[in-house]
Amino acid sequence: MSQAKNRRVHFVGIGGIGVSALAQWYLSEGWHVTGSDAIRSPITNNLIRHGAVIHTGLHNANWLSPDVSRVIYSVAVKKENSERKKATSLKIPQFSYAEALGELTKNYKTIAVAGAHGKSTTTALVGLMLLKAGFDPTIIVGTRLKAFGDSNFRKGKSEWLVLEADEFHGSFLHYTPFAAIITNIDREHLEFYKTFENIKKAFRTFISRVKENGYLVLNHEDKNLASLQLKTKTKIAYYDRQGARAAKVKSLLKIPGAHNHSNAMACDTLGSFLGIPVLVRDKVFSRFMGTWRRFEYRGIYRKAKIYDDYAHHPTEIKATLSGAREKFPKAKIWVIFQPHLAERLSLLFSDFAKAFHEADQVIILETYTVLGRESDSKKNRGAKSLAQKIALSQPTRFVRNFKDVLHTIKNEVANGDVLLFMGAGSITNISDRLVGWHKNS
């Protein structure tokens, strides 16, 4: 990335969970930050409180000032975007979020957490562990943490950077980490990678970017990771959920599920590599209460417990439901699921249909679409078809909107039930509304 002529940066799509964290880094370094996004959100409001100037609504070329040094854009923002077109005409350097973050990793001793699932929780645990151990790291994570003032960013004063390394569109191939964790590999983002072999190839390339004098921590229980046949000089350690140490970690955790136990073991193994005392690691595990939208307890409605979860892939749904059943073995568990991206749903339709077995009642909402991420290909198996398929083996219904969900919950949810809202789209708004109704009742 070229040296800036001044310290003014403009973000297109600034409200994204990753882009917003990078914007906070620029703010912390004294840059003048402007940005744009389709809607206002708690994330954009937080950036405004920290000094960013943000425009919301339909993108407008006038929002880009000619004296900006660089433009950073979300991967969902195409080059035809009006702000990007103006930047091109003004010859302002443009960088994707991953490119800009990749340049940042070269200036730090970077720890990157990759994998199809579990990245955010593992990144949060690693960041908190380094913080507790006195490393004073800078942390960029794909979720909000109460420990960081309900933010997805924490500015440190040391050489250490902990970040979540997403494989979406090959983003993590821009990073140059000193150490890396890979939690698992799965059939995710097939709309970009097309084949599972291409996904595995990307992970091999990511591993090759880890520095030779650094560390690589891999999940021994993931068969897809085991199939990579790695050739690297980087020091490797494998983790699993077996043995006395794993049992100790599990006993300390307050967040349920085998997947979270595995995430904690990844953190524990890296901590051992870095020489962090066991006592410090144990304190982090025992005090960790989870993250935003990862089986997050939101409140109650008519004596039913409400949880919110980001799960939008069949593997994540099964893992979260398994954890919910572990925590509530006798409760009636409702899952209200909003599929995320029609193409993902079509590509993984059979896996989605098998993912809800631990639920007692399933409600499937219409699919949430994301501007700039849907292809023009014909989509033949949608949310209604998914509901019909699941209904062959367990109680399931399809609803088109939030109003119908709320009507069902009002009429049918009973004392002691568990309501689990799942999806990466707007479904969290329903749990917000239910919690608000309870508080105002």
**What integer best gives the mean pLDDT of the chain?**
91
pLDDT at 110 over 80: yes
Q: What average pLDDT does this structure show over 164-180?
A: 94
| pLDDT tier at 293, thresholds 50, 70, 90 | confident
Higher confidence at residue 145 or residue 29? 29
Q: What average pLDDT does this structure show over 347-364?
A: 94
| pLDDT tier at 392, thresholds 50, 70, 90 | very high
pLDDT at 1 over 50: no
Element (H, E) at 68: none
pTM for the model: 0.85
The residue extents of the domains of the chain are: 8-97, 108-287, 296-440
pLDDT at 94 over 80: yes
Looking at domain 296-440, does it have CATH number 3.40.50.2000? no
What pLDDT does 375 receive? Answer: 57
What pLDDT does 168 receive? Answer: 87
- Give the count of alpha carbons within 13 A of 361, CB side only: 17
Higher confidence at residue 233 or residue 272? 272
What pLDDT does 2 receive? Answer: 43
- Collapsing DSSP to helix, strand or coil, 154 comes out as strand
| pLDDT tier at 128, thresholds 50, 70, 90 | very high
Q: What average pLDDT does this structure show over 22-47?
A: 93
C-alpha span between 151 and 419 (Å, rounded)? 26
What is the CATH code for 8-97?
3.40.50.720
Residues 108-287, CATH architecture: 3-Layer(aba) Sandwich (3.40)
Q: Which residues touch 307 (CB under 8 Å, ≥6 apart)?
A: 295, 296, 297, 298, 324, 418, 419, 420, 421, 431
What pLDDT does 200 receive? Answer: 95
